[in-house]
Structure 1
Amino acid sequence: MKIKNTSHQTISLGNTAFASIREANSFYIDKTDFIRQWWESQDVATLITRPRRFGKSLNLNMLECFFSEKYRGEGELFRGLSIWNHEKYREIQGTYPVIFFSFADIKGQTFTSAREAICQVIQDLYAEFGFLKESERLSQEEKDYFSLVAPTMSDAVAAMSLKRLSMCLHSYYGKKVLIFLDEYDTPLQEAYMYGFWDELTGFMRGLFNSTFKTNPYLERALLTGITRVSKESIFSDLNNLTVITTTSEQYADCFGFTETEVFDALEKYGMSDRQIEVQTWYDGFSFGNKKDIYNPWSITCFLKEKKLRPYWANTSSNQLVGKLVREGSAQIKMVMEDLLAGKSFQTEIDEEIIFEQLQRKKGAIWSLFLAGGYLKVVKSEFDISSGRYSYELALTNQEVKMLFEDMVEGWFSDETVPYNDFLKAFLAKDLDYMNEYMNRVAEATFSTFDTGRNPSDDTNPERFYHGFVLGLIVELAGKYRVTSNRESGFGRYDVMLEPLEKTKDAFVLEFKVFNPRKEKTLEDTVANALQQINEKDYDCELLSRGIQKENIFHYGFAFEGKKVLIG
């Protein structure tokens, strides 16, 4: 195989085919030492989790190109790279049967469609190795199994399909197989989103057990994904699985670009003067003890387009992340308020994601966000008494911050709910206009901030107003410091807007749910809210920051169902 000889390396965006990149001498940062590290670990089955667009697919394809019999005699692909410096590895290049497949495109919204798509992937593998049916090295029984594999095959046939294919390859080559599965958890995330989790995990548990645990024809296996799904979900029988997460030391610099690699690339393409910009926008990921990791997609896009944009944030749907924040508790929204304000927060993390507990278990959502690359570890501490790690987490970088800002703006972007017009009325203290628009906002978005699982009239207003506060933070960024549920005076105010220019108006907001036992009308509820602001002296914090008393204005928000009254 001839490698194109050129001094200028073209950047091939979205290309996850290692051979194609090498043949064209396209831009490539050498990650081939991963081959050596993985092989010398001698782990039978390995799961590596990394955020999307971090080179998982390219690295797996690289492994296929290195080990697979399909690439026998094509060591030229690796000439000049790290792995080729080791003589013993040159000898094993192209000497193993390899089964390589991906679940990246399995995004069915029903169990039937997801199951059929998985079975289709398996059928495609059988078609790829169709030449085995002509070999005298296989028994008739082995050949007959090919006819059973189809998108409509039974659960029993599907569960055994990859194990049987391994057996056929072993009969043909006389060697055990390597199995590489990319994006194993994509269908699982869809199953959680669309409500067929139990059915799909039951199906996949049988497939994974026979493929990775009870498969006597397996030499090594490597799986990649974004999340470490709980062992009970699909890995209950896989006690031979080595799990590498974003906090693990192993393979820490094998996925993603290090800062040295990024700065070298900037110099190569004549952009060394833009290091600080690139660092601000795209730095922040950390794997194990390796800090200052950059996502490859944003860097390669920047090198090609030479413009600062949220490349990684816009590469695929953030639907699950948006759902969890939008439908999350008031506490989750309050943490998001701090994160968008550039602050960090402390929490315990269980890296084994239990999707069923994402909206119930403390810290579960932040575990998912950390695995997905939306949060970074500022520092971690081990508590000897509890045996647990406590993590200080923050938004990863400017690109991720923009992603969440756009997400919040999307909650209020319906053309029938002109949120900007409401904010103009809010700042102008036009109560009639505010009430008209606030009721339209509440009608359109109130249910959006409910979990949809155990809705409660008592919690709806709190969820709503914290979602509303996130909207204020995003829309008024650069003009106001927006905080909520903070101590001031003799209590905790609901929302405070402090102008960055001390001569501008400040606002204190109190939200109350109509209480028919104590109040006759919503007007009474508004009056009680305003009275609480005065009695608790919520202005205290603003006054201490240099805001004049005459520039502080109070709003009481009263809720009764989806009806809102502001006074």
Structure 2
Amino acid sequence: MEQQRQLYPIGIQTFSEIRRKNYLYIDKTEYVYRMTHFDSKYVFLSRPRRFGKSLLTSTLHSYFEGCKELFEGLAIDKLEAEWTRYPVLHFDMSMAKHVDKERLEQMLSVQLYRYEEVYGKVSEEVTLNDRFSGLIRRVCQQTSRQVVVLIDEYDAPLLDVVHEEKNLPVLRDVMRNFYSPLKACDPYLRFVFLTGITKFSQLSIFSELNNIKNISMDGPYAAVCGISEEEMLTQMDNDVDILAMRMEVSREEVLAKLKDNYDGYHFTWPSPDIYNPFSLLNAFADGKMNSYWFGSGTPTYLIEMLNKYHVIPQQIGDRKALAESFDAPTERITNITPLLYQSGYITIKGYSPITNLYLLDIPNKEVRLGLMKSLLPGYLHQHTMDGLTTVALLYEAIYEERLDDGLRLLQAFLSTIPYCDNTDYEGHYQSLFYTIFSLLGMYVDVEVRTPRGRVDVVMRSLSALYVMELKLDKTADDAMGQIDLKNYPERFALCGLPVVKVGINFDSERRTLGEWKIEMA
């Protein structure tokens, strides 16, 4: 008999609805208490999309409105004694995506008007910042309480134009003017909380509010959004057993699959393991694992920025950087790392206290596969769907230890792709190989160091480790000869798997694999 399943708040970001309708709620209220009793009353939190920022903002809203009954049994219930009610101005900027200047101003005006209907408006207040400033003052005067301002996804109007030199400054000026009263109204404010994905330094919240507390990389807030492994194993322990039963695997197997697909996020170091909450809850709700987070939104701005900075697929992960290099203001970036990190496509995987360098890499299988699928059209154009079918058949061939059949399949497919520019160099085929083999869901790396040189491609399946050397317009013997001359397999002798040498020559005239040789090391 199947156990009763939990109600999962898929797409529900309102704290009061989750509590009143008995949806699963991962208790983050200890963080709410800590945050609201800071020395600084201005707090900023950056996290990737669909990581729980809106729910956290809604939780703060209910807390400041003094809704004590919603918090019964939660951590804050034992911490808070006063439950003072404050007036809350809550702005959701996610509705202002894909807009021009006029539409953005109209949407901001509508959000102000909701509160002006309650607290009134002075005719002399015409501009958005004058109306916002006047509203804060009137709310404070009429309620005799300082005002709480919550701004969720403050950067949403700017993300889609972050790569546009013309539109970004125009929309940024609108947002800067709108946020500017937050400093001037300091005496009237009890608490200001802003969430976002990226940092735009030229907005007033960062350039003028010099006392704003950015908790994005603070250790005590490492798990303020997302679901930590400890939270999953305690607050969702029964859910894990139900998922294992529905997938007809053991508890240990389902935990390993969840970790492989959705875990791996760290927003500081050291940090608990953080799971993507959107993907995790969807997997529990559906009883299966799928690409939920990546499939929930096409990262068009990310692809545009990857093209702008000429980033090839194998350069996305495995980066080392100082914190100020990846937690940097978006409009000042000189490479793609800050946007990749702040958007959740790479995350912290390690830290060296000697060099102060962080190791950044793709967090998990879901993100890696999603990224590669998004990048594949750059190589295959309108043949992308056929390419994904070929990848599936290639996976089957490698899984069954038929690499020769798989390469033959890839050779036939690539020969059908029409000619495109900039394919007559070895690096193009290395990038294409990396993208395709990454989609197999197996470990793949390029330019792997050995004592005598660098291996073009290393791929590990369940049954073997493949050491691949790629050549362009030469021969497979040339490629295999380099593997033997530099004894690349020696570097992987202790990997625990049979090592297979693969020498491949690409034919630039036919624009596909020419010949190859496969030998056991």
TM-score interval, smaller chain:
0.7 to 0.9
Q: Structure 1 residues 541 and 477, CA, compared in 2 at 3 Å: closer, same or farther?
A: farther
Matched to 1:239, the amino acid is: N
Residue 309 of structure 1 corresponds to 290
Q: State the match for 2:357 in structure 1.
A: 390
- Please name the residue that 1:251 is paired with: 221
Residue 438 of structure 1 deviates from its aligned partner by: 4.9
Q: CA deviation at 1:389?
A: 2.3
**Matched residue type, 1:470:** Y
Identity %, equivalent residues: 22
State the AA in 2 paired with 1:401: R
The 5 Å alignment of 1:61-210 reads: 61-68=58-65, 74-86=67-79, 88-90=81-83, 92=84, 94=85, 96-108=86-98, 111-112=100-101, 115-133=102-120, 142-145=121-124, 148=126, 157-195=127-165, 196-210=167-181
Partner Cα distance (2:49, 2:300) in 1:
14
Letter aligned with residue 235 of structure 1: F
Q: Within 2, Cα distance between the matches of 1:290 and 1:487? A: 29
Q: Is residue 112–residue 131 contact of structure 2 (8 Å, CA) maintained in 1?
A: no
How high is the TM-score relative to the length of structure 2? Answer: 0.77
TM-score by length of 1: 0.72
> Offset of 1:12 from its aligned partner?
2.8
Which position in structure 2 is the counterpart of 1:473? 437
Q: CA deviation at 1:185?
A: 1.4
Aligned partner of 1:283 among 249, 252, 263: 263
Q: Could you tell me how far apart the structure 2 residues matched to 1:206 and 1:278 are? A: 44
**2:348 match: secondary structure:** strand
Q: Which deviates the most, 74-83 or 272-281?
A: 272-281
Q: 1:46 to 1:413 in 2, by over 3 A?
A: same
Give the Å deviation of 1:499. 9.4
Structure 1: gaps (5+ residues): 1-6, 134-141, 149-156, 447-456, 512-525
Kindly tell me: are residues 411 and 489 of structure 1, through their superposed partners in 2, closer, same or farther at Cα, counting changes over 3 Å? same
Out of 222, 225, 231, the position equivalent to 1:261 is 231
Aligned mates of 2:353, 2:170 — CA distance in 1: 37
Aligned with 1:299 (options 267, 277, 280): 280
Matched, 1:25 2:36: no
Q: Deviations over 1:289-329 (max 9, x none)?
A: 43122232223223322212222232222223334445554
- Is the contact made by 2:426 and 2:470 (CA closer than 8 Å) also made in structure 1? no
Q: Name 1:220's counterpart in structure 2.
A: 191
Match of 1:453 in 2: none
Q: Match for 1:509: what amino acid?
A: L
Query: Judging changes above 3 Å, is the alpha-carbon distance between structure 1 residues 101 and 118 closer, same or farther for their aligned structure 2 residues?
Result: farther
Matched, 1:55 2:52: yes
Q: Quote the residue 1:154 is aligned against.
A: none
Q: Distance in 2 between matches of 1:347 and 1:554?
A: 34
Shift in Å, 1:380: 1.0
Do the aligned partners of 1:495 and 1:510 also contact (CA within 8 Å) in 2?
no
Question: Which position in structure 2 is the counterpart of 1:13?
Answer: 10
- Matched residue pairs, number? 485
Q: Deviations over 1:73-103 (max 9, x none)?
A: x43222222222245333x1x2x12110111
Residue 19 of structure 1 deviates from its aligned partner by 1.3
Query: Distance between the aligned counterparts of 1:309 and 1:164, measured in 2?
Result: 48
The aligned amino acid for 2:471 is: E
1:349 aligns with 2:316: no
Q: Distance in 1 between matches of 2:451 and 2:273?
A: 42
Question: 1:160–1:235: structure 2 CA closer, same or farther, 3 Å change rule?
Answer: farther
**C-alpha displacement of 1:183:** 0.5
In structure 2, the residue corresponding to 1:41 is in which secondary structure? coil
Contact 1:13 1:300 in 2 (8 A): yes
Aligned-partner SS, 1:88: coil
| Distance of 1:16 and 1:131 partners within structure 2 | 24
Please report how far the alpha carbon of residue 122 of structure 1 lies from its aligned counterpart in structure 2 after TM superposition.
3.4
Q: 1:399 to 1:535 in 2, by over 3 A?
A: closer
Distance 1:438 1:476, change over 3 A: farther
Report how far residue 165 of structure 1 moved: 1.1
Distance 1:43 1:117, change over 3 A: same
Query: Displacement of 1:542 after TM fit?
Result: 5.9
Matching residue of 2:39: 42
Structure 2 residue matching 1:334: 3-state secondary structure: helix
Q: How far apart in 2 are the matches of 1:491 and 1:76?
A: 65
Q: 2: CA distance between counterparts of 1:472 and 1:101?
A: 42
Give per-residue Cα distances to partners, 1:224-270, cap 9 Å, x unaligned.
Answer: 1122333578622221211111x312433322222222112433336
Are the aligned partners of 2:119 and 2:135 in contact in 1 as well (CA < 8 Å)?
A: no
* Residues in 2 aligned to 1:283 and 1:205: alpha-carbon distance in whole angstroms: 36
Q: Is the CA contact 1:266–1:303 (under 8 Å) kept in the aligned structure 2? A: no
Aligned residue identity for 1:125? L
| CA distance, structure 1, for counterparts of residue 228 and residue 452 of structure 2 | 49
Q: Is 1:406 matched up with 2:373? A: yes
Aligned: 1:464 with 2:428: yes
The structural deviation recorded for 1:390 is: 0.1
Residues 320, 539 of structure 1: CA spacing in aligned structure 2 closer, same or farther, 3 A cutoff? Answer: farther
CA contact (8 A) 1:204 1:234 kept: no
Secondary structure (helix, strand or coil) at the match of 1:235 reads: helix
Question: Which amino acid counterpart does residue 305 of structure 1 have in structure 2?
Answer: D
Q: Is the 8 A contact 2:452 2:487 kept in 1?
A: no
When residues 238 and 460 of structure 1 are mapped into structure 2, their CA distance, relative to the original with a 3 A threshold, is farther
SS in 2 for 1:184: coil
Distance 1:301 1:334, change over 3 A: closer
For residues 293 and 429 of structure 1, what CA distance do their matches in structure 2 show?
36
Contact 2:205 2:212 in 1 (8 A): no
Matching residue's letter, 2:171: L
Give 1:533 shift.
5.3
CA RMSD in angstroms comes to 4.3
Query: 8 Å contact 1:333–1:470 — kept in the other structure?
Result: yes
Given that 1:493 and 1:509 are in contact with CA atoms closer than 8 Å, whether structure 2 keeps it comes out as no
CA offset digits 1:173-219 (Å, max 9, x no partner): 12221110001112221121444122222232222222345554223
| 1:450 aligned partner | none
Distance 1:214 1:564, change over 3 A: farther
Mapped partners of 1:429, 1:175: distance in 2 = 69
Kept after mapping to 1: 8 A contact 2:476/2:503: no
Change (3 A) 1:473 1:166: same
- Summarize the Cα distance change of 1:472–1:285 in structure 2 as closer, same or farther, 3 Å threshold: closer
SS, match of residue 391 in structure 1: strand
Deviation of the 1:441 alpha carbon: 4.7
Match of 1:192, SS? coil
